[in-house]
Amino acid sequence: MAVIFQTNKKTGITYAYQNEPFWDKEKQQSRAKRTLIGKVDPVTGEIIPTRSYKKKPAPASSEVKPGPIPMTQVRRIFYGAGYLLDQIGKQTGVYADLKAIFPEHYKQILSIA
């Protein structure tokens, strides 16, 4: 969300708007929803909020969300598809069965699968 400043040509007062762009599916173009935040003080440059903007309560967080869990060890290892299939074969028992039936060619059969 961005804050946009717009000056009224008649009065010379600068207003601050909260801009929320979105995509209009019907017209296939971007649109923007602007909400008035308040006037800009010409001397200090601060935004003086309007009454409706002041009344909006801050969203109260009723649920306590857990914080991030610190990681003690970060490790990233790259393996190919062959390693993955070997591990699946060992866990499912296919590896041991092929080794028992085809003791000389079980590795070639696994590499083809």
Q: Which amino acid is at 11?
A: T
pLDDT in tens, 48-106: 888 766 666 666 666 777 788 777 777 777 777 778 778 888 888 888 898 899 888 88
pTM recorded for the entire structure: 0.44
Q: Is the dihedral of CA 80, 81, 83, 87 positive or negative?
A: positive
Provide mean pLDDT across the span 34-40: 90
Q: What is the spatial order of strands in the sheet that 14-24 belongs to?
A: 2-7, 14-24, 29-40, 47-49
